Amino acid sequence: MKIIAIANQKGGVGKTTTATNLAACLAQRGSRVLLLDMDPQGNASSSLGYRAAEGQSLYRVLIGYDTLAGKVLPTRFPTLSLIPASMELAGCEVELVRSENHLTRLRDVLQPLKALNQFDFLIIDCPPSLGVLMTSAIAAADGLLIPIQCEYFGLEGLARIVDIHDQIAASGVNPHVSLEGILMTMYDGRTSHSRSVVAEVRRVFENLVYQTVIPRSIAVAESQSYEKALIEYDTNGRATQAYRALAEEFLNRQLPQGDTQAA
């Protein structure tokens, strides 16, 4: 099981949209995926039709009062499971930091899931803050996927999150966390602004940037208001096709160089 944290301390850049739709597209292709909602806002959970219920999130497990049993819920997609969020998770920022091993607590809690080999991917949707929820997700992850919005303010945020990754990797807390990829979101091909931001990020980060770029599309907000993944709501829309292409590109990156996976 490979753990992917989807993070950027900047708000509203498409983390949750990417976490839910990448998870759904991977599941549709047959991967066994667990989506972990670590944002107290619970947007990833509600995107799939789950109301944040007290006691259902990872909060009590993280503070040592509960076990993982019963926390993993099925979804409408046969191979996609979910650990939903609840507002309680916000308490981690206060309570978890009191414990000595707070940065590695999430990794320890997820260890049994890794050992069971029940899932191919565990995708973590992180909240937009530099707190313990996000840092412990990166400390637990094998790869960090960073969505950034195609605008200039996005570039500043990108440098910061890459720094956080480098610090966590260098500190010894999680030396093997890699930069899985950078995903450009909310692209508007009609503006030279969007095009020049993509060009600049590619110039600096080269092949780390996914070839797939997610276009701005009203279907994204609509699908979320209907609590559906894009592949359920807008089967052949532009954003849907982009997330399908992202899933394919993501899977190809998992293969040894030279091999490609059929669409």
Name the burial class of residue 95, with classes exposed (0-12), middle (13-18) and buried (19+) by CB atoms within 10 angstroms of its CB.
Answer: middle
Considering only residues 3, 15, 25, 40, which one is a binding residue for ligand ATP as defined by CB under 6 A?
15
- Of 84 and 128, nearer to ligand ATP (C-beta) is 128
> Do 194 and 150 contact (CB within 8 A), yes or no?
yes
Is 214 a residue that touches ligand ATP (CB under 6 A)?
A: yes
Distance CA 110, CA 118 (A): 12
Segment interacting with Mg ion (CB under 5 A) among 39-47, 85-93, 97-105, 201-209: 39-47
Considering only residues 122, 186, 213, 231, which one is a binding residue for ligand ATP as defined by CB under 6 A?
186
CB of 16 to Mg ion, least distance (A): 3
- Of 19 and 169, nearer to ligand ATP (C-beta) is 19
Q: Which does 216 bind (CB under 5 to 8 A by kind): Mg ion, ligand ATP, none?
A: ligand ATP
Is 128 a residue that touches ligand ATP (CB under 6 A)?
A: yes
Q: Which does 189 bind (CB under 5 to 8 A by kind): Mg ion, ligand ATP, none?
A: none
Residue nearest to Mg ion as judged by C-beta position = 16
Q: What is the 3-state secondary structure (H, E, C) of 63-104?
A: CCCCCCCCCCEECCCCCEEEECCCHHHHHHHHHHHHCCCCCC
Distance CA 222, CA 234 (A): 9
> Do 23 and 15 contact (CB within 8 A), yes or no?
no
The residue ranges that bind Mg ion (CB under 5 A) are: 15-16, 43
